[in-house]
Amino acid sequence: MPAPCGGAPAGPRHVAGRSTLGEDRMSDPVGSGASSLQRQFWLLQSLLPETRAYHVGSVFRIRGALEVSALKGAFQDLVARHAALRSTFREQDGALHQEVSGALPLDFEEIALRVEPEGPEVAAQLRRPFDLARGPLLRVRLWRCAPDDAVLVWTMHHAVTDLASKSILARELAERYALRRAGGAPPSAPVVPAEQYPAFAEWERVWLESDAARSAEDYFARQLALVPPPLALPEDQPRPPVQSPRGAYVPFQLDTALGRRLERAAAEWQTKPFLVLLTAYALLLSRYGDEEQVAVGVPFTNRRREASQSTVGCFVNVLPVTVDRAGDPPFLELLRRVRATFLGHHRHQELPFERIVARCRPARDTSRNLLFQAGFTFEPPMALELEELEVTSFKAHAGGAQLDVFMTLWETETGFAGQLEYCTDLFQPATMERLVQSYQPLLEHVLEPEAAKAIPVSRLGILHPSERERVVRAWNATEVPYAAPPSLRELFLQQVERTPDAPALRMGERRWSYRELAGHAQALALELRAAGVEPGDRVGLYMERSFEMVTAIYATVLAGGAYVPLDPEYPPHRIQQMLEDARPRCVLTQGELARSWPQGAVPLREVRVDELAMAAEGPSCAIAPDDTAYVIFTSGSTGRPKGVANSHRGIVNCTLWMQDAFRLGPSDVVLQRTPFSFDVSLWEFFWPLCVGAQLEIAPPGAHRDSGALAQLVRRAEVTTILFSPSMLQAFLEHPDASRCHTLRRVISIGEALSGELARRCCRLLDAELDNLYGPTEAAVGVSWWRCRSDLGREPMPIGRPIANTTFYVLDAHGQPVPVGVPGELFIGGIQVALGYIHRPELTRERFIPDPFVDAPGARLYRTGDRARWNQDGTIGFLGRLDHQVKLHGLRIELGEIEAVLDQHPRVRQSVVVARATGAADTQLVAYVVADDVAGEAVALADALRSHAAERLPSYMVPQRVLVLDRLPLNANGKVDRKALPEPPSIISVGAELASPRNAIEGWLLDQWRELLDVQQMGLRDNVFEAGGTSLMAAQLIGRIRQRLDADVPLVRIFEHPTIEALAVHLGARADLSADPVDPLATARLRAEHRRALRPTPPARRRN
């Protein structure tokens, strides 16, 4: 990245008021090599021709009797005096040359029109592109608004100026304007500085071969031995595959009191406000991105040589300042670290950024700047004083973005003002406004003496008070005073009393009314009491879907017990573990299942509903709201399942909310298809039967058969059905799914719901689609999103917390994070589970006191899920914390890759995992289910990798794509990642295709081998991962232009980073891709190009 115009307040400064007009005359060099920075500007312009990020503009309002001829003459004098302002650039044989014209005309235009300094006409002028090859690279527009009122816009390209140059030019313009007004004629031979900018470029070329340069390289190699991770600010839009130059800015002001405190604190800490503000900014980015280390690009003036002090040109050098909060130090220690780094950089500021990159060899990623993606500088608006005129300066912005984010600050009479430039292809304005709002409260915290000395930086607040109120209180205002009975028992019996003869339970041709269900359940409840089951005891259910299962569940509830599902499909060893923890008073089973019961386990009691006499009343018992209603076992990280005990209060609240939101009626039929060991089945069992609807029981095993489910939905006229997204995907694939016209509501829960799957469901089914979220530890479901309200979301949000439930997104230290920033999701409210049975330590770890409410005993459940608040107050689910991986130091969200793959028109479902390929390497492997594969799996895999490469950074593109007929599911209908097949033994990608198949591949292979100075290279190797640079890519373009007579934009080399891909792209243009390989002709072609091209070698040492 070229350096921004500004600079850190370090190094020699110009003496205010010093005149430079009397310095020695010297002739301009006509042409010379360009400086390192100018080469970077040229490459960026080639890569992003539309970029305005490096336009250096200044805007002034001038009041008074302005003499336009004198002003224009003064500008002409500046152009004549400074070679940089007459420079253009020319590329030849891969090398960039700087050419200085003897008389490049001044681009000055006077316009009679009333405009405002911040109006659209001025903005359009600032955005007008420059042509680095033709020039001029300075232009002036003067709008005459009135005889004594004018607006002046002075724009230069950064390739010819920097902050110090602006100060020089402003001072000289004032002097020349005064001389012109006084009648002074321009000198016949312009008075020029002792050194012009082309001389600096030559000095730099020589210096780069010196011991001092090698010492600077060694210094930065030590500083960046561990390349900082990419900036991890939460993005509002997917990152484009090539870094975007489009930008905007958010202005802000630090209040006067804070500015005074900052000045006092900096003096007390024996440092400058600049370093305090830089450290706080880096800390803010670190906290927002949840990274201990963040690199910030800081411009250094690079004018330590006396000869450079009065020279106009781009000297400023941006250097990566790494801010590391490892160990969670207090702010003063972090400031000390930054100051030490800053001083070291100051001593080595002459080393160009491109040489730092060449030495450190960071992973290439065309979607972001290398080494740092955030910048920080001090740069006030350009100060200009013109004789007898009132000149007001305005901060100008050309609408570009040099980096993801770039903060600029400057001192004002009332404190500090600033602007945050940002890439509009990544961030929305509201997101950046929140980032700026967080800066001031963080500064206020670090300026507290005790906080700066003693409080770890992770504990310093970054939320603006208004935002804290929003995420802690406003979006959690979910109180609903339900007139709720104390338990499921009363909730069910009240419904039986209301509609005793209404249909309740159905399975095939069998039917029960509410009276019949209650009578059989009450009879079994009495038997449970007689067998010693007391209120609060646990009762195991070893059953499959049937009337017996539903009867046993309700009988346990009516007896005051807590039911424990024991799925007969579980292995005996797992059931034994569950029994050891649950310690049930007894276990109910049915029919033939008794034969598979593990020997030596708890004694069984067989349920035969047909033999149960109907009981008018069940056992009397008093059930408290906080008594256990059921225990569901979930997978444990240690391999042993853990039993989650949930209260009556929680499941009653959930049931009442469901009815409040969805309004089931007597004609509604809910399908019971979820295995009863999965907590979502609680909705199916209790919601319809506590509100007067009907429950249709699917036959055992039918939940896995999409065709059988579709037939059952149609035959039973099911209106409401619950699916995990994986099972919903399978259901929609069956041709009969679209014929399920009775469905009015589909509820998705259990996994992340992709936008593509939601849209497909809504196309095929004339039903509402609702996305719900809830862990077992929070009574089934705790948030809701109606998908049809916005089918464009990707993925679907999990919505807002439901009634009497609260959500908090917290960082690793339990602090609320700002809107849009990822954190761990914590759930509060009355649906939080009681804990894990007989696991007190794990319960204390996962269920913690709720610090945000005053209610005694209130607790939060830490979900282990990554989430963030969306701007509309909904929650975005980002996956499991343990599904986030780091490869080669880069943090990767597997869910983001899956979302991109799911967008491909042929992909129905995808899963991405990180697979170890050896002792020291890991690769990303994608598993996809797709339409119409029919022997095209290999071609589809390549197409999907290309699809991902167009939308994701290279390090996030899966190395392997496996096409499967279906994804393995576990008993709960979720994707079973552990059951995904191992990919075939992984070999070198480059070795898959080592020999060129046509002339263009052979020629490109030769070029890259020469540029990279390597012998072995595969046609599918990423040339940038192999050490390629932007400069090498530019050299290749020159060779392509000569060989193929084709102008290839630099961006195409980044978009096609393998020889194979670039050959296909060029073949389409040059009609060479189908040429057969002629070994003799290929050899002649290679020899011809070796003789003809004579490239400039890359600026790096060969090892």
Instruction: Give ∠ CA 456-228-352 in degrees, rounded to 5.
Output: 125
The whole-chain average pLDDT of the chain stands at 87
SS3 state of residue 416: strand
Topology annotation, domain 227-382+400-472: Chloramphenicol Acetyltransferase (3.30.559)
Q: For position 193, what pLDDT does the model report?
A: 81
3-state helix, strand, coil in the chain (%, to 5): 35, 20, 40
Of 463 and 612, the structure prediction assigns the larger pLDDT to 463
Q: How many residues does the chain have?
A: 1103
At which residue do the structure tokens 């089951």 appear? 533
CA distances from 701 to 293, 708, 971 (A): 51, 10, 10
Of 570 and 1089, the structure prediction assigns the larger pLDDT to 570
Topology annotation, domain 990-1093: 1.10.1200
Q: Write down the H helix ranges in 509-647.
A: 514-530, 547-558, 572-582
| 184 neighbors 84 (Cβ within 8 angstroms) | no
**Tokens linked to 217:** 């390289």
Nearest to 729 by CA among 1022, 401, 985, 964: 964
Nearest to 420 by CA among 304, 626, 249, 545: 249
Q: For position 954, what pLDDT does the model report?
A: 67
At which residue do the structure tokens 């039986």 appear? 496
Q: For position 1025, what pLDDT does the model report?
A: 67
At which residue do the structure tokens 């391999």 appear? 639
**Per-residue pLDDT at 379 exceeds 60:** yes
Q: How many CA atoms lie within 13 A of 1098 on its CB side?
A: 25
pTM of the model: 0.81
> Tens digit of pLDDT for each residue in 884-899?
676 655 667 788 788 8
**Per-residue pLDDT at 1076 exceeds 60:** no
Q: For position 899, what pLDDT does the model report?
A: 83
| 711 neighbors 731 (Cβ within 8 angstroms) | no
Q: Left if phi > 0, otherwise alpha if psi is -120 to 50, otherwise beta: which for 1094? A: left
Q: For position 407, what pLDDT does the model report?
A: 97
Strands 835-836 and 510-513: unpaired
| Window from 758-767, 782-791, 1091-1100 with minimum mean pLDDT | 1091-1100
- Cα 539 to Cα 553: distance, rounded to the nearest angstrom: 9
Domain span(s) for CATH 3.30.559.30 in the chain:
227-382+400-472
Q: For position 966, what pLDDT does the model report?
A: 86
One-letter amino acid for residue 644 of the chain: V
| Window from 688-697, 863-872, 1035-1044, 1066-1075 with minimum mean pLDDT | 1066-1075
What is the second-level CATH architecture of the domain 486-647? 3-Layer(aba) Sandwich (3.40)
Domain span(s) for CATH 1.10.1200.10 in the chain:
990-1093
- Cα 268 to Cα 286: distance, rounded to the nearest angstrom: 26
Q: For position 920, what pLDDT does the model report?
A: 46
> Tens digit of pLDDT for each residue in 787-843?
998 888 887 899 999 999 999 999 988 999 999 999 999 999 999 999 999 999 999
Q: For position 190, what pLDDT does the model report?
A: 62
Which residues have a Cβ under 8 Å from the Cβ of 842 and sit 6 or more positions away?
642, 836
H/E element, 793: none
One-letter amino acid for residue 888 of the chain: H
639 beta partners: none
Q: For position 247, what pLDDT does the model report?
A: 94
Phi (first) and psi of residue 866, to 5 degrees: -90, 135
Q: For position 167, what pLDDT does the model report?
A: 94
**Per-residue pLDDT at 935 exceeds 80:** no
> Tens digit of pLDDT for each residue in 761-777?
999 999 999 999 999 99
Q: Residue 969 gets which letter from DSSP?
A: B
SS3 state of residue 540: strand
Nearest to 338 by CA among 376, 371, 301: 376
> Tens digit of pLDDT for each residue in 484-514?
888 999 999 999 999 999 999 999 999 999 9
- Cα 484 to Cα 625: distance, rounded to the nearest angstrom: 10
Nearest to 77 by CA among 169, 155, 194: 169
Q: For position 1079, what pLDDT does the model report?
A: 39
- Cα 205 to Cα 224: distance, rounded to the nearest angstrom: 24
Which residues have a Cβ under 8 Å from the Cβ of 336 and sit 6 or more positions away?
none
Q: For position 4, what pLDDT does the model report?
A: 61
Q: For position 613, what pLDDT does the model report?
A: 82
> Tens digit of pLDDT for each residue in 21-53?
333 333 444 457 899 999 999 988 887 777 899
Q: Residue 479 gets which letter from DSSP?
A: -
Instruction: Kindly indicate the confidence band of residue 1053, based on its pLDDT and cuts at 50, 70 and 90.
Output: confident
Q: Residue 612 gets which letter from DSSP?
A: P
| Window from 569-578, 706-715, 826-835 with minimum mean pLDDT | 569-578
- Cα 799 to Cα 733: distance, rounded to the nearest angstrom: 26
- Cα 385 to Cα 1037: distance, rounded to the nearest angstrom: 46
299 beta partners: 318
When pLDDT is averaged across residues 863-870 and rounded to a whole number, the result is 93
Of 484 and 378, the structure prediction assigns the larger pLDDT to 378
H/E element, 953: none
Q: For position 832, what pLDDT does the model report?
A: 98
| 49 neighbors 1052 (Cβ within 8 angstroms) | no
Topology annotation, domain 31-204: Chloramphenicol Acetyltransferase (3.30.559)
- Cα 333 to Cα 344: distance, rounded to the nearest angstrom: 17
CA distances from 792 to 756, 788, 948 (A): 9, 9, 20
Query: Cα 601 vs. chain centroid, distance in angstroms?
Result: 50
Instruction: Kindly indicate the confidence band of residue 2, based on its pLDDT and cuts at 50, 70 and 90.
Output: low
| 794 neighbors 817 (Cβ within 8 angstroms) | no
Instruction: Kindly indicate the confidence band of residue 639, based on its pLDDT and cuts at 50, 70 and 90.
Output: low
When pLDDT is averaged across residues 303-326 and rounded to a whole number, the result is 93
Q: How many CA atoms lie within 13 A of 335 on its CB side?
A: 22
**Per-residue pLDDT at 10 exceeds 50:** no
Q: For position 11, what pLDDT does the model report?
A: 38
H/E element, 182: none
Name the packing angle between helices 331-347 and 211-223 (round to 10°). 160
| 679 neighbors 645 (Cβ within 8 angstroms) | no
Domain span(s) for CATH 3.30.559.10 in the chain:
31-204
295 beta partners: 322
**Per-residue pLDDT at 9 exceeds 70:** no
Q: For position 1081, what pLDDT does the model report?
A: 37
Q: Left if phi > 0, otherwise alpha if psi is -120 to 50, otherwise beta: which for 965? A: alpha
| 983 neighbors 925 (Cβ within 8 angstroms) | yes
1068 beta partners: none
**Per-residue pLDDT at 415 exceeds 90:** no
Burial of residue 312 (number of CB atoms within 10 Å: 0-12, 13-18, 19+)? buried
Which residues have a Cβ under 8 Å from the Cβ of 1071 and sit 6 or more positions away?
none
When pLDDT is averaged across residues 846-850 and rounded to a whole number, the result is 97
When pLDDT is averaged across residues 1073-1081 and rounded to a whole number, the result is 38
| 479 neighbors 513 (Cβ within 8 angstroms) | no
CA distances from 735 to 202, 390, 550, 709 (A): 73, 77, 31, 12
Q: For position 1077, what pLDDT does the model report?
A: 37
- Cα 349 to Cα 300: distance, rounded to the nearest angstrom: 7
Assigned CATH for 888-979: 3.30.300.30
One-letter amino acid for residue 170 of the chain: A
**Per-residue pLDDT at 14 exceeds 50:** no
Q: For position 363, what pLDDT does the model report?
A: 77
- Cα 335 to Cα 1023: distance, rounded to the nearest angstrom: 39
> Tens digit of pLDDT for each residue in 357-367?
988 888 777 78
| Window from 387-391, 693-697, 1096-1100 with minimum mean pLDDT | 1096-1100
Instruction: Give ∠ CA 337-339-340 in degrees, rounded to 5.
Output: 65
Of 617 and 978, the structure prediction assigns the larger pLDDT to 617
Q: For position 826, what pLDDT does the model report?
A: 98
Q: For position 886, what pLDDT does the model report?
A: 63
**What's 154-169 look like in SS3?**
EEEEHHHCCHHHHHHH
Q: Left if phi > 0, otherwise alpha if psi is -120 to 50, otherwise beta: which for 648? A: alpha
Ranges assigned E (strand) in 509-668: 510-513, 538-542, 562-565, 586-589, 604-606, 628-634, 642-647
Instruction: Kindly indicate the confidence band of residue 267, based on its pLDDT and cuts at 50, 70 and 90.
Output: very high
> Tens digit of pLDDT for each residue in 102-152?
878 899 999 999 999 999 999 999 999 999 999 999 999 999 999 999 999
Q: For position 12, what pLDDT does the model report?
A: 31
H/E element, 987: none
The number of helix segments (H) and strand segments (E) in the chain equals: 30, 40
Q: Left if phi > 0, otherwise alpha if psi is -120 to 50, otherwise beta: which for 1058? A: beta
Nearest to 13 by CA among 314, 310, 237, 280: 310
- Cα 741 to Cα 744: distance, rounded to the nearest angstrom: 8
Instruction: Kindly indicate the confidence band of residue 1086, based on its pLDDT and cuts at 50, 70 and 90.
Output: very low
Strands 510-513 and 720-723: unpaired
Count of beta carbons in the 10 Å neighbourhood of residue 921: 11
